Amino acid sequence: MVIHIYYGGRGVIDDPTRPVIERMQKVLEELRVNVVLYNLYEFKNTIPTLSQTIKDADGIVLASTVEWFGMGGYMLEFLDSVWQFGDKSRISEIYMMPIVIAKTYGERQVIADLSNAWETLGGKVLTGLSGYIDNPLDLEVNQDYIALIEAQAERLYRGVNQREKTFPSSKSALTERVGTPNPLHLSVPEAEQLSEYVSDENYVKTQKEDIQELAVHFKGMLMSEDAGSEEEYIGDIRKAFKPSADVSGVFVVDIAEKKNDLIIEVHGAKLDVKYDKASSADVKMTMKRDVMEDIVSGRMTFQRAFMSGAMTGMQGNFSLLGGLDKILDFSH
């Protein structure tokens, strides 16, 4: 089971929502759930790309606090991007639990807004958790509060695992008839470039030009080379490896044209690269062979492949992608 937590606050120390989702994450991981936490404030210039991560989850948590006029802007921007770019057929299968813990008035309204938003997108809503907490420290020492939070995490697990039945929502039915926007026949990078809320237009433009150049350069290579080689890329990765003490983990690359996964296991200065069937991973990426060619040629990084949409799927700890680019230098 995969659960994604999208935290829409600003990351301030005294935000009471943070200790709640941290404890929920701990409980879910004890239940052997793969939990991925996305702090939206860390992706404030690339929030639209996160809409593509939802499809990899069985259930999600939308966690927010109450700002001066309802939910924060990061969460609103994220929900806007899901509306524009999200896979609605996939969203209809995903359970969402809202979490809103506030230090000011309005938590019930925000939790209702999150529930209504997810129903409008066509998803399934589980009963959420809301409350007013003046001192966030209470959430870590008050045993009654701790029990409530842990019980909420267990309800999320059961709801997703047992595919809890829910009545259809009139809001989602109405959306299907009159509220669905015209489909965009564009790739994610193209749609982002047209969107008014993507701040770094030069970045998007550069990504498009790089991808177009690579597409022309590598056109036809896929058919002419042996896609089934069990040695391909291993030598390139070993040559590019530059160990770093703060980067360790198991990285799995699922290349569409390959029978087995490419497994990159790093522990400090130790590197092990092989093709095999992966049983577990800290980060699992899915991409086509031409994208992997772009990466080992030094024209693309793993992180840029995800941000541009060239990587068709990613599960695990997003922050580790930057670490992988740090220890594998293909630029030479």
- DSSP β-ladder status, 34-39 and 59-64: unpaired
User: Average pLDDT, stretch 295-312?
Assistant: 87
**Residues 151 and 28 occupy one common structural domain:** yes
**How confident is the model at residue 117, as a pLDDT?**
92
Does 135 share its domain with 223?
no
Cα–Cα separations (whole angstroms), residue 217 to 96, 212, 242, 258:
43, 9, 28, 21
What is the pLDDT averaged over residues 204-209?
64
Residue 82 and residue 49 share a domain: yes
pTM above 0.75, yes or no: no
SS3 16: coil
Q: How many CB atoms lie within 10 A of CB 10?
A: 15
Same domain, yes or no: 214 and 148:
no
The gap from C-alpha 278 to its chain's centroid, in whole angstroms, comes to 20
pLDDT of 229: 64
What is the pLDDT of the chain when averaged over all its residues? Answer: 83
Residue 208: pLDDT over 90: no
| Whether residues 136 and 94 fall in one domain | yes
Number of domains within the chain: 2
**Cβ atoms within 10 A of the Cβ of 115, count?**
21
- pLDDT, one tens digit per residue, over 210-262 is 666 766 666 555 544 445 567 889 999 999 999 988 889 999 999 988 889 99
Q: What is the pLDDT of residue 72?
A: 84
Section 159-183 average pLDDT: 66
- Write phi, then psi, for 10 (nearest 5 degrees): -100, 5
Q: What is the DSSP annotation of 174-236?
A: HIIIIIPPPPP-S-HHHHHHH-TT-S-HHHHHHHHHHHHHHHHHTTTHHHHS-TT-SSTTHHH
209: domain range? 200-327
When comparing pLDDT for 168 and 195, which is higher? 168
Encode pLDDT of 39-93 as tens digits: 999 988 888 888 889 989 999 999 999 988 788 889 999 999 998 888 888 998 9
- Mean pLDDT, residues 122-128 taken together: 91
Note whether residue 190 is domain-resident.
Answer: no
What one-character DSSP code corresponds to residue 168? P
Query: How many angstroms separate the Cα of 108 from the Cα of each of 120, 132, 184?
Result: 18, 10, 34
Alpha-carbon span 94 to 124, nearest angstrom: 6
Per-residue pLDDT tens over the stretch 19-43: 999 999 999 999 999 999 999 999 8
Q: Is residue 53 included in any domain, yes or no?
A: yes
Whether residue 305 is found in the same domain as residue 161:
no
Domain CATH number, residue 87: 3.40.50.360
The predicted model gives 298-326 an average pLDDT of: 85
Mark whether 101 and 68 lie in a shared domain.
Answer: yes
Residue 303 in this model has a pLDDT that exceeds 90: no
162-192 in b/e form (b: 16+ CB < 10 A) is eeeeeeebebbeebeeeeeeeeeeeebbebb
CATH number at residue 285: 3.30.1050.10
Q: Which of residues 318 and 158 earns the better pLDDT score?
A: 158
Beta bridge partners of 101: 131
